[in-house]
């Protein structure tokens, strides 16, 4: 399988002007990144934004990482997938996920057990009967899947997996489980500093929300960590496994670890500490922000 590197915006530009989002993605295209990924955290609607970005770029692929299944029905998702690929010449990548019960309560959605929801949704998407667009090329679908049940469904009904804040050991186990044919798209946060204190502080502030989620902790435990690694904001051992930090060369070497573990594509999320804490209307305090201009330093190494 090819070894690709993309970038995820996550929620970092939710509050920035739209023109800044377009300019950022154009720079990533110029620097040689293969794909750009958009979140679905109640900021900009990801498929609408993907349409605009595809219209304003020429080579870079645009994906969702990930679009929430509860945000739109499967038929609508199928129509958008086909339409965006038709109009862009096959540059749209669909990532889907169930998110979690707390987030979907904000959508006033009726929560369904994740495996059942995922299977039903993908089955309907694959049986799309819409005729709003004609596209005969590839239009891949990837599923956010950390656990065995969701991975099995992703491999049966989609083109592969997406992981978030998982270490190379997790990717290796997933690759052993699913075999060589399905894709694994692995997000990796990176911090462009050679100061260990700054790197660990940044990583701990970023990871706080994930440390509180039992299914993340369980996945990390299955990758060789234990409860002691979750204390005091995360052990250095845990943070070194999850984050790339240091010089551009050191970050590139961390990307290589993910590829060697079995990742098809690594989605970089460059972060830094904010100078002054701001408020995101959904997420709350913004304590780290995107550090996208630093990615130019990786361009000669790709």
Q: Hey, what are 245's tokens? A: 């930090």
pLDDT in tens, 22-49: 999 999 999 999 999 999 987 899 999 9
Residue 6 has what pLDDT? 98
Helices (H), the chain: 18-30, 46-55, 74-88, 101-106, 114-126, 148-157, 168-178, 196-211, 214-222, 236-242, 248-261
pLDDT mean over 236-241: 98
Distance CA 7, CA 191 (A): 14
Name which residue leads in pLDDT, 116 or 134. Answer: 116
| 60-75 burial: b if 16+ Cβ within 10 Å, else e | bbbbbbbbbbbbbebe
Strand partners, 273: 288
User: What pLDDT score does 131 carry?
Assistant: 63
Closest CA to 143 of 169, 127, 129, 123: 123
Please give the average per-residue pLDDT across 62-67, as a whole number.
97
Q: Is the pLDDT of residue 9 over 80?
A: yes
Is the model's pLDDT at 4 over the cut of 80? yes
pTM score, whole prediction: 0.95
Cross-strand bridge partners of residue 284:
280
pLDDT value, residue 189: 98
C-alpha–C-alpha distance, residues 151 and 266, integer Å: 18
CATH architecture of 4-201+245-271+289-301: Alpha-Beta Barrel (3.20)
The pLDDT score that the predictor gives to residue 1 is 41
Q: How confident is the model at residue 210 (pLDDT cuts 50, 70, 90)?
A: very high
Q: Give 132-178 pLDDT, tens digit per residue.
A: 667 789 999 999 999 999 999 999 999 999 999 999 999 999 999 99
What mean pLDDT is predicted for residues 232-261?
Answer: 97
Residue 129 or 151, more confident: 151
């Amino acid at each position: 399988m090819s070894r690709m590197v993309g970038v995820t915006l996550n929620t970092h530009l939710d509050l920035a002007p739209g023109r800044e989002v377009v300019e950022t993605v154009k720079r990533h295209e110029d620097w040689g990144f293969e794909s750009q990924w958009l979140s679905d955290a109640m900021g900009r609607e990801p498929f609408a934004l993907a349409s605009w970005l595809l219209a304003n770029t020429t080579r870079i692929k645009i994906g969702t990482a990930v679009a929430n299944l509860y945000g739109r029905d499967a038929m609508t998702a199928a129509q958008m997938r086909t339409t965006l690929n038709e109009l862009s010449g096959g540059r749209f990548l669909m990532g889907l996920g169930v998110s979690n019960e707390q987030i979907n309560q904000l959508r006033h959605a009726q929560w369904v057990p994740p495996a059942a929801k995922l299977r039903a949704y993908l089955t309907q998407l694959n049986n799309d009967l819409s005729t709003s667009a004609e596209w005969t090329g590839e239009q891949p679908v990837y599923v956010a899947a950390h656990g065995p049940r969701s991975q099995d469904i992703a491999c049966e009904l989609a083109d592969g997996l997406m992981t978030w804040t998982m270490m190379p050991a997790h990717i290796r186990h997933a690759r052993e489980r699913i075999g060589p044919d399905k894709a694994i798209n692995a997000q990796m946060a990176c911090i462009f500093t050679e100061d260990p204190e700054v790197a660990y502080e940044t990583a701990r502030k970023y990871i706080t929300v994930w440390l509180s989620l039992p299914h993340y902790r369980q996945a990390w435990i299955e990758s060789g960590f234990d409860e002691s690694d979750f204390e005091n904001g995360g052990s250095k051992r845990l943070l070194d496994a999850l984050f790339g930090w240091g010089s551009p060369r050191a970050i590139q070497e961390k990307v290589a670890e993910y590829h060697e573990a079995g990742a098809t594509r690594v989605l970089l999320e460059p972060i830094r500490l904010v100078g002054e804490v701001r408020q995101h209307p959904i997420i709350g305090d913004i304590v780290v922000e995107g550090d996208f201009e630093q990615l130019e330093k990786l361009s000669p190494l790709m």
